[in-house]
Structure 1
Amino acid sequence: MHDLIHELAQSFFIHECLRVEDSTKLPSIIPKTLRHLAIETTNSDIIKKIGQFKYLHSLILFYRTFNQDLCNALTEIFKASRSLPLLYIRASKDLKIIPQEIGNLIHLRYLKIDGYDLTML
């Protein structure tokens, strides 16, 4: 894609789509109208901030390390984002359980969880 077209597309969809990687920090101002979010990180503080976006339509989460903060952050996300239809989680091989609050996602239609040692959903 040509750079100008790419920049135009980014400026047009800035209020709906956001991609965050470890090398980037969350922008200071993120619109509450954010619909699609993709995060690749090892920082659990970034994941904890996802709960403030109540109107997400898709969440793609690549979390490369595991600790209890991930489960706590997922619990908060599941409580806040009840209308989330698409959820994709790819976590390290230490992810064994998905919090039971995933049942709060009443509009969930597409779910993919890549957890190598996942024992309970």
Structure 2
Amino acid sequence: MATLIDPDFRARLRALNDKYAAGVPALMQAIADAQVRCDTEGPRLEQLTALHHALHAVAGSAATFGFATLGQECRRLEQLARQLLNEPAHVLAEWPVLSGQVGALLRWAATDPAATHFSA
């Protein structure tokens, strides 16, 4: 079996995972803030784009650090947000559905964002 060139590799990887885990509440807060702006100001371009970006940030990184289910759910919601951005005529009708799903994600993530199964 080959030995690692960097004997501290696993410790460094664990430290990166811990750092990401410590930042998850802030990532979820960014999603929550964007959702609130969409709810209170209306799901206009600026507000919906902020939500899309917040979801994208988690979707793109979560699985790398052991939060695969969180990443998958954020990716799914990111795609829904992108659809609304691409189809502005449907935003007002579809926003309540997306907002409810974002709320379910936030409640789930508040309990255990590293869980391997999402339940709304």
| Greater strand content | 1
The TM-score, its normalising length taken from structure 2, stands at: 0.27
Give the number of the structure whose alpha-carbon radius of gyration is greater: 2
The TM-score, its normalising length taken from structure 1, stands at: 0.27
